[in-house]
Structure 1
Amino acid sequence: MSESSKASEHSEEKVIQPAAFMSRRKLGTLPPLGKIPQTDARVLAKIEIPVYVLDLENIRITWANRAGLDFMKLDSDTFNHQESLALPAPFSDPAHIRRLRNYLLANTEDEERTESVTVVIDGQPTNITCAVDEQPFTDGRLGLLVQVTSISNTDVSQLRIAQALLFTNSMISMYTESGELIYENPVSRLHRPKSAANLPDRFCNDRDYHAIREALQTRLQTNLVCLMKAGEGNRWHDVTARRGHDPVTGEQTILISAIDVTKRLEAEHEVRYLAHHDTLTGLPNRTYLEIAINRHLDEAELNDAQGAMLFVDLDRFKTINDTLGHLVGDDLLIQVAKRLEAIGKDLGFVARLGGDEFVLLLSNFPDHDLIEEVAEHMRQELSRPYVVGGHNLQITLSVGVALYPEHGRDLDTLMRKADLAMYRAKDLGRDRYCFFNTRMAEDAEERLRVENALRHAINNDEFELHYQPRLNAQNNHITGAESLLRWHHPSRGLISAGVFIEVAEETGLIDAIGEWVAENAMRQQKAWEEQGYPVTLSINLSPAQFKREPLPEILIDLANKLDITPSRVKFEITESLLLKETATTLHQLTQLRDAGFQLEIDDFGTGYSNLGYLQRYPVSALKIDRSFISDRKRWPIVQMITQMGRLLNLSIVAEGIETLEQLAQIRTVHCQEYQGFLYSPAVSADEFLHLLKQDRQQRRTARRL
């Protein structure tokens, strides 16, 4: 259906006056095929204007009077034979029928309803104006009563313009200079509230109307996205306003074209929300943080204000995910986010970076003590118990604090320094907060230098093994040696593993370094054995190496490749490895024991020593940490460890023996072996071979005596 324009000078219009009773009178109820009572038919047949009854559901004409048949150039015999007739365009368009039906249902007041349409009769487009009203059928369906009130033959271009105006989804309307409605197309009429006919009344906000009027004073056209009143409620519209003239009166007008963009804006808002917010907790994400913090920092700089960034990490959150599942972990994060959001509501804002990491940005906080109070309050509040999935959970958190502008004036700098402070809090035992200081940055830079140098060392064979003798505590003869890693640093010379092993563990380089140590120690043991010195070598294994499940297979394959007797190799592990109580660790240690290797606990006594894990794990010896040997006050602990060893049938090795008095003491508590500077520090392979030769000579001398 197309909306007709005003008749032009090229159009010829015939105005037909409808019968008075037809203007608002409904016909009697029609039979299913649309036949009307004969008395009504005789009356309507005498009316000289075309009248039709339309079946909107089946899109058919079910009845027409003589004037209607003549207008469509049909005779009564043809129509009666067909019993109904297909609707001409545009009534045959389902979209138009739906709009027309909605229009009828929406207009419940007693007012005249008209439609200006273009129909094609005998190939000739003709513009007609119709009075329309609803006509119910006997089966409850809604029909349409149509009476033609005017007919005009319009030129083709006018008809096509009218057709475009009628079928467009844009609400097009024309107003006088003062804002009174002159014209609107059907879409505008359908969606406009009756109370908002004039232009100022269409806008929800007066400022939008005044913005359009002001813009049109200086230019021909303007565009604005604004909230407008509609039959469905307030809706967002993309409005184009243009200055023009009324073609009938010549007066200045305002032409408005409005497209409902509410759904599009809602979709765009949803996209922006998802782009800037965490989907799990609803908190702002890192993307939003990057946007927001620039505004906060700019304002802080302008106002000479101070603030802080608090980097929050939940302690051992991975354990919750691994033991209770990710659903419980996600629910816990949601509850944590709610508590954090409540804390930061009046102080700044909270964002989730991902995983179990959050950020609280404090604005305008010049008082260092006040920032400490916030950090402590947050630590206590988030540590209160949670009920998640039927579980009562309690967590701790590590918090790093960076101040601005003292520690940085941009996001990257503040995040990096707050992150360093957070890791410092973890190093100090977790469940605490730490403020950034320059020493942390220096340590981080040093770790990075060490990491880069370690990678270079692996590729350039800069490592070397030294060997510290292990001796029988009773006769002082060599029983074996502990292999200790040394690094020929390009600028710092020979350095021990204690300087760099932590960095190697954190970066994953420990795997490559550990395999190098194991292979070279086994090669050396095999070489000494072939020279007639079948000593036993002990090799240190890092807990980080046990994160690789194939570790036992790697070591067993290495021994097989080098033709090593496994009983000649002892692997030293730390108490911290056993304290993790994982089935995987137990399985790995059992694999090594079953392959013939011996297992010893190094630095025993520094952890939470207990009989429980000593009984569960396949260890054969305990090495007493040197700190117990060097302090006389701690000798009772040495006695307790040796008694524990005898109870479990474990060998006892004393580390750090530096004096004859210490040697005498460990003999009294029946330690089987010792090592320390009293006999020899760790030495090169050649020097250790020399010690082996000396020890053999002493044994021979002792036998002759």
Structure 2
Amino acid sequence: MNEYNVLNQLSNPIWIFDFEKKSIIWANSSAVELWEATSLAELAARDLKSGMSEAVEATLESYRAKFEKGENIRTWWTFTPKQKLKRKLCVFSGFKLSDGRQTMLVEVLSNEYSLRRDLAITIGSNLSLLFDKYGVLISCNDYFKTCFYRPVTELADLVCCQAVADNWIRRAQIEQEFDAEIEPELDGSYHCFKASAKWLQDKAQLLVSLTDISEQKQMFHKASFQATHDELTGLFNRRGMLEVIDEAVVQEKPFHLVFIDVDKFKQVNDIYGHHVGDQLLSKTADKLSEILKEPCKIGRFGGDEFLALVPAQNSASIHLKLGQVLKKMQLPLQLKNLGDICISVSAGCSSFPHNAKDTDSLLKQAGLAMHQSKLNGRNRYHLFTPHLMEEQSRKVHIRQRLSRAVELNKFTLAYQPIYDVCENRIRGAEALLRWHDEELGQVAPSEFVPVAEETGQIVNIGKWVLKQALKQVSQWQEKLDHTFTISINISPIQLHAGFSNDLSQMLKKYGVSAANIALELTESCNVLNNQDLRYWLEDIAKLGVKLYLDDFGTGYSSLSVLHNLPFHVVKLDKSFTGTDSESNRTIIAATLALAKALNMAVIAEGVETENQYTSLQSQGYRYLQGYYLSRPLRQECFSALLSPGAYPLPAEVSEKCEL
């Protein structure tokens, strides 16, 4: 609670009461003294519940209900610290902690006997004025005259309007006494007073005692502002934004919740330093504030993440607004000592009440939509759909089940033949990982491999795949010639400086010739320009193990990558062989020409029809792989293919042997 120590400077006691623990969890020094405590720690350790009646507990619960509605309570409160009876006028208000729990902030305004009838008060904390029953000033103490030069002749001058003054007179006559806060403009400056009004029945007069709490209020407002606003950007912080969303949900007015993330912000921090990163965040906040004007509410949710609440107008308005955000955020931002810098943002949006009716769900949905924008290539927005939540739920389920699959050895390998159409025989196969889960069913590698890479489980899975494939090749060794190759997929996460040494030991352990093994690295891996990777791949190639570049044409490859890295084979991605178009035919021809120029072989993936087979063969492709030739096969079925005369495998046998 160190962030609230600034309130220690307030003269009036303030403390925070925890509803759940029935204890005081923070108090300023005035409150510690009021509670007859020796220290805050001693006060916080007191068991207030033991002496609390059911009536008091019920009263506190009613207070909590009012706080949830945004209401405050001003009333007299009696308590007995160390058996000493005390009665104080207090203001009770709801106060949410950083963890979201609702507590009660108590501010003591006055005690029961502080109101005085004697106007002969010398310089002190109270300013006193006496009015007749019509609200005309009878007299005021000298201290008031000394402090303020603006003449006050009527109660209306003090409370700023005649209607309020008339109400004070009527209220005082009925209630006898009451307290209020007023903010009059006296001698041209802002003042906040705690006003205690008491009706003097015998003289039909109104006594108003004022305590100037302007400085304390400013400090209190500053502390409240700091608690709900981000110091760097001046926007709402996480806590403040959550309060804004909660309030909007309570009001039940439709709105959109937009999660905005600065693309590749980490690169800016890494290259230029955190001071430039902070500048960029501040400028980003300014730009967002220009785009999303009131009544939109904007907050910095943490790091480079921003959150915006946009009132709903019509179905097209949010698309227009998000389009403006993406477009205008690409304009150059001027940074000190650096000049112009261009960025982009990714955004995700959920809608109240269409998608969800509570804050937590809306946040989760907007976050999922934003991450989908990142996956789709950044610098775009995505609206939440239920399908996104289904995908996330399945991904979480996969993550949970994956660890068990590793422990219980639930994986298997299938082998899909690679054919040499010139010699009409099998020249190799790709070892493909398969996982069938009792709850999830058949889980595609495209689903579980990214999860395994995120969690780091891919390292153990990759070791298992390599071990199982080498063991199997060792059993086939006598049937294989030096040109037959089993290719094994690896993740870049598996690679390290000692990988080639580990591989060499495994080859020796299982008695497998390096010439019969290839490792496939996907082209979509954006680490292909990593200098260390080059050295690691060169060490692998020195063993005699071939290197395949998988999914060629879909990712990050360039001529320099193919020239600098020791790849022996490129595998043309099935997206080019699967659709007959002029652009695809051009890419197919260019890939073959490029490979020949670099003295590399090419394997065409995804050959699923006779037309594809014939077309690729006519264009000069020698090595083909796909369902038209054979589906991925179980180990025993693939073994049968290695026998003389086993090619071609009948289609019905291939289907039965599929894994």
TM-score class, shorter-chain normalisation, is 0.5 to 0.7
Question: Mapping of 1:64-79 within 5 angstroms?
Answer: none
For 1:512 and 1:276, locate their aligned partners in 2 and report how far apart those are by CA, in whole Å: 45
Corresponding position of 2:466: 518
Q: Is the 8 A contact 1:559 1:566 kept in 2?
A: no
CA deviations on 1:207-239 (whole Å, 9 max, x unpaired) are 776666555434454333333667894432334
Corresponding position of 2:335: 388
3-state SS of paired residue (2:636):
helix
Give the direction of change, closer, same or farther, for the CA distance of 1:527–1:202 in structure 2 (3 Å limit). Answer: farther
Q: Does 1:268 align with 2:223?
A: no
Q: CA deviation at 1:603?
A: 1.9
Question: Mapping of 1:531-610 within 5 angstroms?
Answer: 536-542=485-491, 545=493, 551-553=496-498, 556-557=501-502, 560=505, 563=508, 567=514, 569-578=517-526, 581-583=529-531, 585-586=533-534, 589=537, 592-593=540-541, 597-607=545-555, 609-610=557-558
Give the direction of change, closer, same or farther, for the CA distance of 1:584–1:322 in structure 2 (3 Å limit). Answer: farther
3-state SS of paired residue (1:379):
helix
Q: CA deviation at 1:269?
A: 1.4
For 1:191 and 1:539, locate their aligned partners in 2 and report how far apart those are by CA, in whole Å: 91
For 2:629 and 2:402, locate their aligned partners in 1 and report how far apart those are by CA, in whole Å: 32
Q: Is the 8 A contact 1:181 1:197 kept in 2?
A: no
Give the direction of change, closer, same or farther, for the CA distance of 1:239–1:643 in structure 2 (3 Å limit). Answer: same
Corresponding position of 1:280: 232
Q: Unaligned stretches of 5+ in structure 1?
A: 1-161, 699-705
Corresponding position of 1:643: 593
For 1:232 and 1:391, locate their aligned partners in 2 and report how far apart those are by CA, in whole Å: 44
Q: Is the 8 A contact 2:528 2:561 kept in 1?
A: no
For 1:209 and 1:170, locate their aligned partners in 2 and report how far apart those are by CA, in whole Å: 24
Which residue identity lines up with residue 266 of structure 1 in the other structure? Q
Corresponding position of 2:321: 374
Which residue identity lines up with residue 350 of structure 1 in the other structure? I
Q: CA deviation at 1:601?
A: 0.6
Q: Does 1:203 align with 2:150?
A: no
Q: Is the 8 A contact 1:172 1:255 kept in 2?
A: no
Give the direction of change, closer, same or farther, for the CA distance of 1:377–1:660 in structure 2 (3 Å limit). Answer: closer
Give the direction of change, closer, same or farther, for the CA distance of 1:430–1:532 in structure 2 (3 Å limit). Answer: closer
Q: CA deviation at 1:488?
A: 1.7
Q: Is the 8 A contact 2:467 2:506 kept in 1?
A: no
Q: CA deviation at 1:669?
A: 6.6
* TM-score, normalised via structure 1 length: 0.62
Give the direction of change, closer, same or farther, for the CA distance of 1:364–1:693 in structure 2 (3 Å limit). Answer: closer
Looking at CA atoms only, which structure, 1 or 2, has the larger radius of gyration? 1
Give the direction of change, closer, same or farther, for the CA distance of 1:661–1:215 in structure 2 (3 Å limit). Answer: closer
Q: CA deviation at 1:435?
A: 3.5
Corresponding position of 1:103: none
Give the direction of change, closer, same or farther, for the CA distance of 1:596–1:373 in structure 2 (3 Å limit). Answer: same
Q: CA deviation at 1:582?
A: 4.3
Corresponding position of 1:171: 126
Equivalent of 2:310 in 347, 351, 362: 362
For 1:495 and 1:626, locate their aligned partners in 2 and report how far apart those are by CA, in whole Å: 20
Q: CA deviation at 1:462?
A: 1.8
Corresponding position of 1:226: 182
Q: Does 1:688 align with 2:635?
A: no
* TM-score, normalised via structure 2 length: 0.65
Q: Does 1:308 align with 2:256?
A: yes
Which residue identity lines up with residue 686 of structure 1 in the other structure? E
Query: Which stretch shifts more, 264-273 or 587-596?
Result: 587-596
For 2:185 and 2:615, locate their aligned partners in 1 and report how far apart those are by CA, in whole Å: 96
For 1:682 and 1:563, locate their aligned partners in 2 and report how far apart those are by CA, in whole Å: 28
Give the direction of change, closer, same or farther, for the CA distance of 1:175–1:697 in structure 2 (3 Å limit). Answer: closer
Corresponding position of 2:53: none
Which residue identity lines up with residue 224 of structure 1 in the other structure? A
Q: CA deviation at 1:268?
A: 1.9
CA deviations on 1:81-136 (whole Å, 9 max, x unpaired) are xxxxxxxxxxxxxxxxxxxxxxxxxxxxxxxxxxxxxxxxxxxxxxxxxxxxxxxx
For 1:662 and 1:697, locate their aligned partners in 2 and report how far apart those are by CA, in whole Å: 20
Give the direction of change, closer, same or farther, for the CA distance of 1:388–1:594 in structure 2 (3 Å limit). Answer: farther
Q: Does 1:414 align with 2:359?
A: no
Equivalent of 1:321 in 256, 269, 272: 269
Number of equivalenced pairs:
520
3-state SS of paired residue (1:368):
coil
For 2:177 and 2:507, locate their aligned partners in 1 and report how far apart those are by CA, in whole Å: 88
Q: Unaligned stretches of 5+ in structure 2?
A: 1-117, 649-659
Corresponding position of 1:94: none
Which residue identity lines up with residue 637 of structure 2 in the other structure? E
Q: CA deviation at 1:487?
A: 0.9
Corresponding position of 1:21: none
Which residue identity lines up with residue 387 of structure 1 in the other structure? Q
Equivalent of 1:289 in 241, 254, 260: 241
Q: CA deviation at 1:465?
A: 1.3
For 2:144 and 2:295, locate their aligned partners in 1 and report how far apart those are by CA, in whole Å: 50
For 1:693 and 1:603, locate their aligned partners in 2 and report how far apart those are by CA, in whole Å: 30
Corresponding position of 2:573: 625
Question: Mapping of 1:119-268 within 5 angstroms?
Answer: 170-171=125-126, 173=128, 175=130, 184=141, 188=143, 192-195=147-150, 200=155, 203=158, 205-206=160-161, 213-219=169-175, 221-227=177-183, 233-242=189-198, 258-268=210-220
3-state SS of paired residue (2:554):
coil
Q: CA deviation at 1:275?
A: 2.1
Give the direction of change, closer, same or farther, for the CA distance of 1:441–1:659 in structure 2 (3 Å limit). Answer: closer
For 1:515 and 1:212, locate their aligned partners in 2 and report how far apart those are by CA, in whole Å: 82
Q: Is the 8 A contact 1:483 1:537 kept in 2?
A: yes
Give the direction of change, closer, same or farther, for the CA distance of 1:423–1:493 in structure 2 (3 Å limit). Answer: closer
Which residue identity lines up with residue 552 of structure 2 in the other structure? F
Percent identity over paired residues:
28
Q: CA deviation at 1:611?
A: 1.4
Give the direction of change, closer, same or farther, for the CA distance of 1:261–1:478 in structure 2 (3 Å limit). Answer: same
Give the direction of change, closer, same or farther, for the CA distance of 1:182–1:478 in structure 2 (3 Å limit). Answer: same
For 1:393 and 1:364, locate their aligned partners in 2 and report how far apart those are by CA, in whole Å: 32
Q: Is the 8 A contact 1:171 1:184 kept in 2?
A: no
Q: Is the 8 A contact 1:605 1:625 kept in 2?
A: yes
For 1:354 and 1:198, locate their aligned partners in 2 and report how far apart those are by CA, in whole Å: 53
Q: CA deviation at 1:485?
A: 0.6
3-state SS of paired residue (1:271):
helix
Q: Is the 8 A contact 1:283 1:350 kept in 2?
A: yes
Equivalent of 1:353 in 301, 307, 331: 301
Q: CA deviation at 1:602?
A: 0.5
Question: Mapping of 1:30-109 within 5 angstroms?
Answer: none
Which residue identity lines up with residue 538 of structure 1 in the other structure? S
Which residue identity lines up with residue 309 of structure 2 in the other structure? L
Q: Is the 8 A contact 2:262 2:346 kept in 1?
A: yes
Q: Does 1:439 align with 2:395?
A: no
For 2:518 and 2:616, locate their aligned partners in 1 and report how far apart those are by CA, in whole Å: 22
Aligned-pair Cα RMSD in Å: 4.4
Which residue identity lines up with residue 639 of structure 2 in the other structure? L
CA deviations on 1:269-306 (whole Å, 9 max, x unpaired) are 122212222222222234333322344344455xxxx4
Q: Is the 8 A contact 1:175 1:198 kept in 2?
A: no
Q: Is the 8 A contact 1:280 1:330 kept in 2?
A: yes
Give the direction of change, closer, same or farther, for the CA distance of 1:661–1:358 in structure 2 (3 Å limit). Answer: closer
Which residue identity lines up with residue 245 of structure 2 in the other structure? I
Q: Does 1:615 align with 2:563?
A: yes
Q: Is the 8 A contact 2:156 2:164 kept in 1?
A: no
Which residue identity lines up with residue 378 of structure 1 in the other structure? V
CA deviations on 1:35-81 (whole Å, 9 max, x unpaired) are xxxxxxxxxxxxxxxxxxxxxxxxxxxxxxxxxxxxxxxxxxxxxxx
Give the direction of change, closer, same or farther, for the CA distance of 1:557–1:174 in structure 2 (3 Å limit). Answer: same
3-state SS of paired residue (2:487):
strand
Give the direction of change, closer, same or farther, for the CA distance of 1:563–1:190 in structure 2 (3 Å limit). Answer: farther
Q: Is the 8 A contact 1:241 1:255 kept in 2?
A: yes
For 1:372 and 1:697, locate their aligned partners in 2 and report how far apart those are by CA, in whole Å: 57
Corresponding position of 1:50: none
CA deviations on 1:339-379 (whole Å, 9 max, x unpaired) are 322232245333332333333333251x2233332232333
Q: Is the 8 A contact 1:173 1:181 kept in 2?
A: no
Corresponding position of 2:83: none
Q: Is the 8 A contact 1:578 1:613 kept in 2?
A: no
